């Protein structure tokens, strides 16, 4: 019944058990059981007042038996003489009759139009469910439905909260960078190489898709040079440390700056740090 895994969400089965116990404390219904619905299949896992173990782990399919019929209708259903009731299928006669059950009420727990659990109440006599007992079970099912709806909404908001920062902050930043670069090129008045426009288009597509920045394509040598510049080295000092020529260091810096969408060495270092490409 739980939609998706969540470390914060309690087990929904425990909520079913709690409602059955709540009804049990009222003493109005001697036999109670129920369970969660998964993919239109009800699994009975919770019991109060039963004498046998035949109902434990019973799988009730949609439309079958009293519980299956209540799952489909979304309404409470009851029979006063289970063995001879013509209104239901009798696929589960053995466990039900072996328990001595004669009068039974099935109440679905409906959330957003879908049965998420079913609560059963039963007598071992043929007396019909009284108004008080039926009302108690219906109220319990509604309370459980409200609880599950709240849990669903909490999970939904947590998923949105976890997803939104990753998409909006990263993508918005990348889109702003591409926009600024396009405006700089437009203001320049000179013709722009098709390769440059293609690069910007790729970066914009990546940002719109929620992917990483094009800066992830920096080569190891470009990162080495940026790391040395970040330490305060001049081009000559960086060249000595990396066993490169100063002209080669300048070339790597220009290439890195282009990929990062920056215009100076200091902007390139700042952007690389922002993207956590260098310490």
pLDDT tens digits along 50-71: 999 999 999 999 999 999 999 9
Question: Tell me: the pLDDT tens digits for 86-111?
Answer: 999 999 999 999 999 999 999 999 99
Taking the domains of the chain in order of start, what are their residue ranges?
Answer: 12-157, 213-279
- pTM here is 0.58
Question: Which fold would CATH assign to domain 213-279?
Answer: Arc Repressor Mutant, subunit A (1.10.10)
Cβ atoms of residues 116 and 109 within 8 Å = yes
pLDDT at residue number 11: 87
pLDDT at residue number 2: 46
Question: Tell me: the pLDDT tens digits for 205-256?
Answer: 556 555 444 445 788 888 889 988 988 889 998 898 888 899 999 988 988 8
Task: Retrieve residue 77's tokens.
Answer: 């259903």
DSSP code, position 53: S
pLDDT band at 145 (very low <50, low <70, confident <90, very high): very high
Say whether pLDDT at 169 is over 50: no
% the chain with pLDDT above 90 = 44
Helix, strand, or coil (residue 171): helix
- CATH number of the 12-157 domain: 3.30.450.40
pLDDT mean over 128-147:
91
How many angstroms separate the CA atoms of 258 and 199, rounded? Answer: 10
Helices (H) and strands (E) counted in the chain, each on its own, are: 9, 6
Same CATH topology for 12-157 and 213-279: the answer is: no
Cβ atoms of residues 99 and 48 within 8 Å = no
Mean pLDDT of the chain: 83
Say whether pLDDT at 151 is over 90: no
pLDDT at residue number 259: 86
């Amino acid at each position: 019944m739980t939609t998706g895994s969540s470390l914060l969400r309690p087990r929904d089965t425990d909520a079913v058990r709690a409602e059955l116990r709540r009804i049990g404390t009222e003493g109005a219904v001697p036999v109670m059981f129920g369970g969660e619905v998964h993919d239109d299949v009800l699994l009975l896992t919770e019991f109060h007042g039963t004498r046998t173990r035949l109902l434990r782990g019973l799988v009730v399919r949609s439309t079958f038996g009293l519980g299956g019929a209540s799952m489909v209708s979304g309404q409470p259903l009851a029979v006063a003489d289970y063995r001879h009731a013509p209104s239901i299928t009798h696929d589960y006669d053995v466990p039900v009759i072996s328990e001595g059950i004669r009068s039974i009420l099935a109440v679905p727990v409906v959330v957003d139009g879908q049965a998420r659990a079913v609560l059963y109440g039963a007598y071992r006599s043929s007396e019909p469910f009284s108004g008080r007992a039926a009302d108690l079970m219906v109220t319990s099912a509604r309370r459980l439905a409200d609880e599950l709806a709240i849990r669903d909404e909490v999970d939904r908001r947590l998923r949105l909260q976890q997803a939104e920062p990753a998409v909006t902050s990263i993508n918005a930043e990348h889109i702003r960078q591409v926009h600024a670069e396009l405006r700089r090129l437009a203001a320049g008045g000179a013709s722009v190489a098709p390769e440059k426009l293609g690069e910007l288009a790729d970066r914009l597509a990546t940002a719109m898709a929620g992917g990483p920045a094009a800066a992830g394509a920096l080569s190891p040598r470009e990162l080495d040079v940026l790391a040395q510049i970040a330490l305060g080295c001049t081009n000559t000092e960086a060249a000595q440390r990396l066993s490169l020529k100063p002209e080669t260091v300048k070339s790597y810096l220009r290439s890195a700056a282009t990929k990062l969408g920056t215009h100076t060495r200091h902007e390139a270092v700042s952007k690389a740090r922002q993207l956590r490409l260098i310490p």
